[in-house]
Chains A and B, each alone.
Chain A
Amino acid sequence: MTTTDDTSVSSPPRAAIATRTFRTDKWMRVPVLTVLGLTAWVAYATFRVFYQGDYWVADYHYLTPFYSPCVSEGCVPESAHFGRFLPDHPLIPYAALSLPFLLAFRLTCYYYRKAYYRSFWLSPPACAVPDGHAKYTGETRFPLIGQNLHRYFFYAAFLISIINTWDAILAFHSPSGFGFGLGNLVLLANVVFLWCYTFGCHSCRHIMGGRLRHFSKHPVRYRLWTVASTLNNRHMMWAWITLASLALTDFYVMAVAAGWIDDLRFIN
């Protein structure tokens, strides 16, 4: 390929093409759908987090993930598996201990970064479409340099996934003994999806073995890395599935707790 002796990066001009893009496909569709999807989810989650009701089904021990772990003095005592120590205030969510970390985990997630940079910040809205910003420094400065903290939030999210799993297991223990209903399936499916998303996280992939140079010296970590990599291949899919499963799980628990529907019971 042609090269020149001139190594300056600013000298000869580019082709003078005024048209911003010649793309003829529907490149706006994905950013628009992303904005709609994320906005709808954030609106629902915000409403539910501050609603402070219908989060616990006493008969079957269903606890919605939006209130787990329930650590406010306002929590129903049976739903608070880890104690109640936060003050009961309308502006303090019952799960205020976990929600900020989960929010930060998703905000700094490599997939969501792509999604909101493209759709909300239009940086760029689509490939080979101008980003429309006069200046660009990426993730080199405050506040976006904070995206490097994804690792911290992954550690927290990993622990919270364990708590969600514990909640799903406890839900098999209804007041009359072992019980099993549609709500259990919903809670279990949500937990499985959460693990697929969390274990397939790029930070997890790195920690499991990606940071190594010699897989051959670490066969167990290599195996863990391959599992994380397999899940990571569909990280975007798991990101959206978990958003949907979290909202649907919460809605199901709310609907049962509020008495809008009865839980379909298989055993007890």
Chain B
Amino acid sequence: MSTRTFRVWRGDDEGGELADFDVEVNEGEVVLDVVHRIQAEQAPDLAVRWNCKAGKCGSCSAEVNGMPRLMCMTRMNLFEEGETVTVTPLRTFPVVRDLVTDVSFNYRKARETPAFAPPADLKPGEYRMQQVDVERSQEFRKCIECFLCQNTCHVVRDHEDNKEPFAGPRLFIRAAELEMHPLDARPDRRELAQDEQGLGYCNITKCCTEVCPEHIRITDNGIIPMKERVAGDRYDPLVWLGRKIFRKGRQER
């Protein structure tokens, strides 16, 4: 057992500041345990969102020493003995109070993403897919919607005005998941990603991948393949030539 100094942002949409707490830390604990101890012993009105404490619900997203993390998955032994730990709310979203932010931006963008469109000639229960064909999409299904990727993406983190044209990495992998889905019948996923979701705003700096607690390779397996598909549609001379010669449709299925 030892005592550590925690600096926790306290405030709401009218302002706030960092508050210092000297708090007991035990072996094996995570940041969320310590925040709960602060709440239990020193600041009962401290607002913090949490649920599973197992890295599966995506509720306890915050910024710990400046890095977007799940508090329940950030072990205290990550920090040096005597190091002050600073906990602040996600910066990209409006603050509700203390460590709780309003993440409704992400839900709005999710509603704007068209859902899975099954083939017209198949009824539910008749879908048949090869495992090898669904593996890529399944990686994206691991997403727990913690929105750390959305929070760390500088396109919206540093530029509030981009929230209108830009959907963010979480929704890009949703688009990629459906675009790569062997049974999705919607033909315009790529156009939607480029024109409606703002795929072109992404400059591949991979912070979304770095902070993903599920280790989804958001950029390499989701965003870049989508960019490549868009490039194939719009910019590739050989693809254009091949279509002319073989009279093929837009994409081999």
* A111: nearest chain-B partner, CB-CB: B204
Q: Is A26 part of the binding interface, using a Cβ–Cβ cutoff of 8 Å?
A: no
Q: Is the CB of B182 within 8 A of A213?
A: yes
Partner of B92, one of A4, A14, A135, A138: A14
Q: Mark B218-253, 1 if CB is under 8 A from A, else 0.
A: 001000110111111011111000000000000111
Residue from A2, A9, A222, A233 whose CB has the most chain B CB atoms within 10 Å: A9
Q: How many CB-defined contacts (below 8 Å) exist between A and B?
A: 193
Partner of B104, one of A7, A155, A233: A7
Q: Is the CB of A15 within 8 A of B91?
A: yes
Q: Is the CB of B16 within 8 A of A113?
A: no
Q: Is A212 part of the binding interface, using a Cβ–Cβ cutoff of 8 Å?
A: yes
Which residues of the other chain, B, contact A138 by a CB distance below 8 angstroms? 155, 198, 200-203
Q: Given A22-B86, A23-B65, A114 and B205 touching (CB < 8 A)? A: yes
Q: Given A11-B94, A16-B11, A16-B16, A136 and B158 touching (CB < 8 A)? A: yes
Partner of B231, one of A130, A148, A213: A148
Q: Chain A's nearest CB lies how many Å from the CB of B221?
A: 9
Q: Is B160 part of the binding interface, using a Cβ–Cβ cutoff of 8 Å?
A: yes
Q: Given A2-B102, A22-B66, A13 and B13 touching (CB < 8 A)? A: yes
What's the tally of chain A residues with a CB closer than 8 Å to chain B? 64
Q: Is the CB of A211 within 8 A of B155?
A: no
Q: Is the CB of B15 within 8 A of A16?
A: yes
Report how far A266 CA is from B158 CA in the complex, Å.
59
Q: Mark B39-78, 1 if CB is under 8 A from A, else 0.
A: 0000000000100000000110001011110000000000
CB pairs A–B below 8 angstroms (28 shown)? A1-B145, A9-B108, A12-B95, A14-B94, A22-B63, A22-B66, A110-B204, A114-B203, A114-B204, A114-B206, A123-B154, A124-B154, A128-B66, A128-B68, A131-B158, A136-B155, A138-B198, A150-B231, A151-B236, A152-B235, A152-B236, A155-B238, A205-B225, A213-B181, A213-B251, A214-B133, A215-B133, A216-B130
Which A residues are closer than 8 A to B by beta carbons? 1-4, 6-7, 9-17, 21-25, 110, 113-114, 117-118, 123-124, 127-133, 135-140, 144-145, 148-152, 155, 202-203, 205-206, 210-216, 218, 222, 232-233, 235
